[in-house]
Amino acid sequence: MRPNSSGEPAAPISSARTPARGAPILSPTRVSPCSPRRIVGASPFALALAFSLALGIPATTRADLWGYVDEDGKAHVATEKVDERYQLFFKGGTRVDPPDAAAVADAEAREAFRRTPIFQRMTAHSNVGRFDALIEQHAKLQKLDPALVKALIAVESAFDPAAVSPKGALGLMQIIPDTGLRYGIAGDKKRSLEQKLLDPAINVRVGTRYLHDLLALFADDLRLALAAYNAGEGAVSRRDNNVPPYPETEDYVKLVRQFYSLYRPPLPPAPKVTRIVVPGQRKVPAAPGAVLPSLDAGAASR
């Protein structure tokens, strides 16, 4: 049974796997679907996001990125030169790069990218920080990492609250009307269901609840939850809880996880353990931050 607009709890997520009247299973879908080698963005801002994605991947695993912006303002990004319109805009590392060379390449690429106009435009884009408080609020309510929600929004809509996909997915987290209904959102005299789903507060509330339920359904397996968010939980369940072999879904899971690693705060450095050698004594690790005795003092005491 679908929930009503009074805010009653949504039906268990498993009950919504099969839509009525044999309709195809749909899930929230990003505005810019991509093939295994291409990303098509809604604006040049999406190209900037692709840059940030590229710089968030270790040089030993990332590829070159090619791209162009078409007459409609859509950014196209690929891992190879698809045709003459594509120009190389990011040179990635290769798996045979020595570790030291890869680290140097990372530092140089990041510094060069910071000087580009597209990076300046990306960091100055008001939408990136505009929804931080909203994301934080609803992520905490659903016991989600805000960085994960932010990563999903980056891939789904490039932080565009008015984004509408060809499949009818709406807003920041690209919620389809059926999902909105499942979580108690319904149209009224003032606003239609679609208009409500374009409201960032409603959109993020529904999207985070849906993501929370998907993680619960798939035992906190992030890969499966993200695949279900893109392709529908039924598509994952029908394949014995595996990521469906759809190029778009496979690429979607990778993209969100890569953005997630980009947005997560860095872990604090592990405390250093210093080993000291005193003649005649066995080697012992010094406690982090401990004041070590000088070797001269040790020698004088013998």
Task: Tell me the per-residue pLDDT of 185-223, one tens digit each, with 9 for 90 and over.
Answer: 999 999 999 999 999 999 999 999 999 999 999 999 999
**What is the pLDDT, as a whole number, of residue 211?**
98
Check whether residue 111 and residue 173 sit in a common domain: yes
Query: Between 41 and 30, whose confidence is greater?
Result: 41
Q: What is the mean pLDDT of residues 137-143?
A: 97
Same domain, 208 and 280: no
Per-residue confidence (pLDDT) for residue 155, from 0 to 100: 84
Residue 144 pLDDT exceeds 50: yes
Say if residue 32's pLDDT is above 80: no
47 and 164, same domain (yes or no): yes
Confidence of residue 89 (pLDDT cuts 50, 70, 90): low
Whether residues 66 and 213 fall in one domain: yes
| pLDDT computed for residue 71 by the predictor | 66
Candidate from 41-55, 221-235, 271-285 with smallest mean pLDDT: 41-55
Q: Is the pLDDT of residue 6 over 50?
A: no
How many domains does one find in the chain?
Answer: 2
Q: Is 1 contained in some domain? A: no
| pLDDT the model gives residue 36 | 35
Q: Give the pLDDT confidence score for residue 225 in this predicted structure.
A: 97
Please report the pLDDT score of residue 247 as a whole number: 86
pLDDT above 90 covers a percentage of the chain that reads 35
Joined together, the tokens standing for residue 24 give 């195809």
109 belongs to a structural domain: yes
What is the pLDDT at residue 263? Answer: 78
Q: Write the pLDDT tens digit of every residue in 215-262.
A: 999 999 999 999 999 999 999 999 999 999 998 898 889 888 877 877
Is 228 part of any domain? yes
For the chain, percent of residues with pLDDT exceeding 70: 48
pLDDT at residue number 18: 30
Based on the fold, state whether residues 31 and 136 are members of the same structural domain. Answer: yes
Q: Is residue 4 domain-resident?
A: no
Q: Give residue 33's pLDDT.
A: 34
Residues 6+ apart with CB under 8 A from 167: 26, 29, 176
Domain that holds residue 146: 13-263
**The predicted structure's pLDDT at residue 140:** 97
The domain that holds 127 is classified in CATH as 1.10.530.10
Better-scored residue on pLDDT, 207 or 75: 207
Pair (256, 277) in one structural domain: no
Report if residue 244 sits inside a domain. Answer: yes
Tell me whether residue 6 is in a domain: no
Instruction: Provide the mean pLDDT of the chain.
Output: 70
| Co-location of 83 and 167 in the same domain | yes
Same-domain check for residues 202 and 300: no
In this structure, are 277 and 161 located in the same domain? no
Residue 155 and residue 50 share a domain: yes
DSSP helix/strand/coil, 276: strand
Average pLDDT over residues 131-137: 95
Q: Please check the confidence at residue 24 and state whether its pLDDT lies above 60.
A: no
Contact between residue 78 and residue 65 where contact means Cβ atoms under 8 Å apart = yes
- What's the CA gap between 55 and 108, in Å, rounded? 11
* 275 vs 138 pLDDT, higher one: 138
Q: Are residues 282 and 251 in the same domain?
A: no
Residue 2, domain member (yes or no): no
147 CB-side CA count, 13 A: 10
Catalytic pick among 156, 233, 248, 250: 156
Residue 226 is assigned to a structural domain of this protein:
yes
Clarify whether residues 83 and 17 are in a common domain. yes
Q: Residues 99-103: what's their mean pLDDT?
A: 56
194 is known as an active-site residue = no
The dihedral sign for the CA sequence 283, 289, 291, 294 = positive
CB 242 within 8 A of CB 221: no
3-state SS string for 125-167: CHHHHHCHHHHHHHHHHCCCCHHHHHHHHHHHHCCCCCCECCC
pLDDT confidence of 59, banded at 50, 70, 90?
very low
